[in-house]
Structure 1
Amino acid sequence: MNLLKLITTDNAPTTLLIRLVVGGVFLSEGIQKFLFAKAQGVGRFEKIGLPNAEVLGPFVGTTEIICGLLILIGLLTRFAAIPLIIIMLVAITTTKIPMLEDGGICKMLHESRTDWAMLLCSIFLLMRGGGAFSLDRRV
C-alpha cells in the first residue's frame, strides 16, 4: 500500500461528523487510561485478565491518544483507524462476549452499544478516509 492510497479520501463533508465522534471518544478514553489508571487503564486490564497489563494499558492509551488526534485532524485517517478497529475488537471479545454467559444477549448488546458504534464508525473511516474537511484531502 503506497502513501497516496493511504491518504486518498472522498469529498464528503459529513465524514467530519464521524471523525469528531471517533477521534473525540478515543482521545478522551486514551487520556483517561493515564488519569484513572486503576479504573480505566492498567487496573482494568489486570481485572479482565489481559497479559502484561502494566505495558498494555499505557500502550493502548497512547495508541488511542495518537490515533484519536490523527482522526480529529483528518491526517492519515485510514491508517489511524486500523489500530482503533483492533482495540475495539479486543474490547468486545474480552469484556462484552463474556457477558453472554452471565446476563444473556440483551445485557451484552446493551453494554456493548458504544463499542459497536465505535467499531463500525472506525471501519467507515478505514473505507472512506477523512472526507472533505481533512488534512488528507488537502494533501
Structure 2
Amino acid sequence: MATIEHSEIVSAEPQRVFALLRRVEDFADYSDLIERIEPLGDDRYRWHVHALKMDWTFDVEVVEESAPTTLAWASLSGVKNQGRYQLERVPEGTRVMLTLSYEIGNRLMEKAVNRAATPLVSKVSRQILERVEARLNDERG
C-alpha cells in the first residue's frame, strides 16, 4: 500500500475542527475533486471523486472516532484505502495530520496514480482544511 501524509495548521480549537471533519457528507463542499458523498447509514459513505481525468467511486466506513483527536476510516469497496485524521492542539490552533494509504489492483494504473497521488492528495487536503477554516471563521464572525 502506498502512504501519503499531509499536515496543516487550522486556526481554531480542535473541538470545532473535529466537528466539521466529522460531518463526512460535507466534504464535497470542501474540495473541487469530490463530486458528492452519499451517506449510506451506520457511519458508511459512498464517495464520488473525479481525479486524474477519471471517476472514482468507493464506499468507506468510519472505523475509529475519538473526539476531538482522531477520525479514521477504511474502504469497503472500490479503491482500497484507509485514512486517519489526527488533531493536536498547538499555540496557533489545531495541527491536522492526514495519513492516507491506498492500493490499486492494476500495476500500470498504480504506477501512474502513485506519481500523481502525493501532490494531488496534498492539494485536496490543503483545500479541505482551508475551506474548513473559512467555514469556522464565518461561524465566528
Normalised by the length of structure 1, the TM-score is 0.32
Question: 1 or 2 for the larger relative contact order (CA 8 Å, sep ≥6)?
Answer: 1
1 or 2, which has the higher helix percentage? 1
Normalised by the length of structure 2, the TM-score is 0.31
